[in-house]
Amino acid sequence: MGSIRPDPNLLKKHPNAVTLDQLQEKDRFLGALLGAAAGEALGAPHEGKPAGEVGPVREITGGGPWAAGEPTDDIDLTLALLRSLVARRKFDQDDAARRYLEWFARGPKDVGLLTRASLENLRAGDSPQQASALAWEDSGRRAAGNGSVMCCAPIGLLHVRTLEGLPDDAAGASRITHHDPRCVGGCAAVTTAIALLVRGGRDAEEAIPRAADAAGAVSDEARAAVERGSSRRPGDISVDGDDRGYVLRTIEIAFSALASAHAFEEGLLSVVSRGGDTDTNGAVAGALLGAKHGKSRIPDRWLKPLKAAPELTSLGEQLYAQL
């Protein structure tokens, strides 16, 4: 039986035809969003536990104040940013900040200290940049939580076609709530990696070193966290205790999973099992792993309970169509 060869003139004959590469790229594009949601939901019931008390992690279940699949601040803010990008067709810091403030006004259950301080300043009339800068100054320039890196994935998706402007957009998104250079560098690393992973091919192969370079343009410590993580396994990294919620530990373990795991499920389980800020660590690792492996590689049993999945998918498809 003869082999079936693709027609090299297919796109000339059918300019609207979708290629396999495009289908796979879109699968990875949506995978970044749904991977973040799956990571958050998998980790939420175990938030704050030491690594030794997490126990077996296999399914998305109810825990803490959240029902199974109910989004926490990680995905709520991801959705707010994603809605802004789709509506404005670009990153607009003022519009994104307004949507964050609308979310904050609804009295969410779980708000990080620095996010709360920044949004309180924003509500008082400060500009986004001023609001986060004042909150950081009030912390003695010490606060470097993971509250901006947890929701920055849509910025990477916005720049799948071109990295031009990505560093500025990543910085602008972080500085709505988190002004510290380590936080800005973390957002630059995660968003750069996501854009390159979704592209696939050689770009995906270079995602980690180029993410480290993007982080290093802002913070040497953020660069070191990416490089350190990519050379270790999640089981070798401590993210609980005093390191809970620290942006550099979140970056380190997320890139560790990206570099060492052969499958989405393997990588995410290895991160959540380490305890600490499990929902945010899971969200960041899930976004990176989803951008690498795609939506089709996320277990169905994890996707079905996600209440945010329909809107994430719809907005993701809209953003992809706008690229």
For residue 59, give the 3-state DSSP assignment. coil
Residue 143 carries which DSSP code? -
What distance in Å separates the CA atoms of residue 237 and residue 239, rounded to the nearest whole number?
6
How far is 4 from 188, CA to CA, in rounded Å? 44
0.85 cut: is pTM over it?
A: yes
CB neighbourhood size of 92 (10 A): 16
What is the C-alpha to C-alpha distance for residues 156 and 24, in angstroms, rounded to an integer?
17
Ranges in the chain, pLDDT < 50: 1-4
pLDDT value of residue 1: 38
Quote the pLDDT of residue 243. 83
Q: What is the pLDDT of residue 229?
A: 98
pLDDT of residue 52: 80
pLDDT of residue 242: 84
Residue type, 18: V
SS3 116: helix
Contacts of residue 12, Cβ cutoff 8 Å, sequence gap at least 6: none
Question: Closest Cα to residue 115, out of 93, 94, 91, 97?
Answer: 97
pLDDT at 19 (0 to 100): 86
Q: Which residues pair with 145 in a beta bridge?
A: 246
pLDDT of residue 59: 76
